Every structure is written in C-alpha cells, then in structure tokens.
C-alpha cells in the first residue's frame, strides 16, 4: 500500500441536481484512492454563482493526505466529476459536481492542464472560508499543514468578499471519514 507523501486541498461544489449527495459520494471515493485519505473537511457553504450562471452553489473544501502526484490526483478528480454527470459545454457552466485541486504539497505548477496553487482561490470566498476552516483543524499555519498557498486576504477583506459574494455556512459536512 502506498504511503501518503503530500497534503492536498480540493474544492468541492456544484449547483445542479442533488449536489450534497454528489459531494459526499465523490469525497467518499477520493477517500478510497490509492494511498489517499481525507484528513479534514469543512462545513458546506451556499454561495451565489461567481463568474457563472444558474442556481446557487454548494461548496466545501477537503484536505487530503495522498501518495498521488498532482497530475494523477487531478485525473482521478476529473474521472469522478464525469462519473457524476459533469459536462463542460462552456466555461463556468452550471455543474453537477466540481472538484478543483487547490494545492498539492509545496507544488508550484503552471502547465496547460494544471496551475498550482489554484490561480483564483484568493479571489473566491466560497473557497477561502471553507479552506481556512479545513486547515484550522490541522494547524494554525497553512505551511505547517504541508500545503503551499498564495498570499491570502486578511480576515476583514475575506469577510467583505463573503458578503459581496453571498456566501453562507449551511451545515457541517455529513460524513467525517473517521477524522
């Protein structure tokens, strides 16, 4: 069995169908990937679409311990999206499930298929609030938690973004994965 070597952050979301059930099923599947386990998961947040259309989204963030490299993990996440009916008719289309690789260890990547850390996470309260929550269970510092993050806004700026983007905590994540 592969031993986890890195911590990675993934964003979960969607706004079509039974999103919460899709998020739970997808994260349960992620928890069974080779050498991968969920070590922390945020609450579920509801947010108005940002740079997108359609109904409000549900979002959460999970921190994983994984032996999969960044591209391997991305491929696994995209396969799970497809298994849950994800279609990509146009950029930022409404979706049944969205799984974004936010960060992977100390990886700094900018390839045609993957940029790490995620280039827009610092602008999105629906990522920042759950990310901070998921990381808070691990340590006081994101670098101690084993992930490389860009400079994040301070608490006041984050709260302003949350109000402007219409984000609200809905509930705790319905599965705790033994954490």
Per-residue pLDDT tens over the stretch 10-60: 999 999 999 999 999 999 999 999 999 999 999 999 988 877 778 999 999
Q: Which residue has the tokens 């031993």?
A: 3
C-alpha–C-alpha distance, residues 49 and 52, integer Å:
5
Helices (H), the chain: 19-30, 70-83, 125-136, 155-165
Contact criterion met (CB below 8 Å) for 81 and 98:
yes
Per-residue pLDDT tens over the stretch 61-71: 999 999 999 99
For the whole model, what pTM was predicted?
0.88
Per-residue pLDDT tens over the stretch 76-129: 999 999 898 877 656 766 788 999 999 998 888 899 999 898 888 888 888 988
Q: Catalytic amino acids?
A: 86, 95, 98, 100
- Give 2-28 as a DSSP string: PPP-EEEEEEEEE-SSSHHHHHHHHHH
Query: What is the set of domains in the chain, with CATH numbers?
Result: 6-171 (3.30.70.560)
């Amino acid at each position: 069995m592969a031993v986890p070597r890195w911590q990675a952050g993934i964003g979960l979301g969607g706004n079509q169908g039974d999103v919460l059930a899709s998020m739970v099923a997808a994260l349960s599947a992620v928890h069974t990937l080779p050498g991968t386990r969920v070590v922390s998961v945020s609450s579920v947040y509801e947010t108005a679409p940002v740079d997108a259309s359609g109904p409000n989204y549900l979002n959460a963030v999970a921190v994983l311990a994984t032996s999969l490299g960044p591209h391997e993990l991305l491929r696994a996440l995209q396969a799970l999206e497809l298994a849950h009916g994800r279609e990509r008719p146009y950029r930022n289309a409404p979706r049944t499930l969205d799984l974004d690789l936010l960060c992977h260890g100390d990886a700094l990547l900018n390839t045609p298929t993957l940029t790490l850390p995620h280039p827009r996470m610092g602008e999105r309260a629906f990522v920042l609030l759950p990310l901070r929550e998921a990381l808070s269970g691990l340590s006081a510092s994101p670098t101690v938690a084993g992930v490389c993050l860009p400079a994040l806004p301070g608490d006041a700026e984050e709260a302003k973004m949350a109000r402007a983007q219409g984000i609200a905590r809905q509930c705790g994540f319905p599965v705790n994965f033994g954490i």
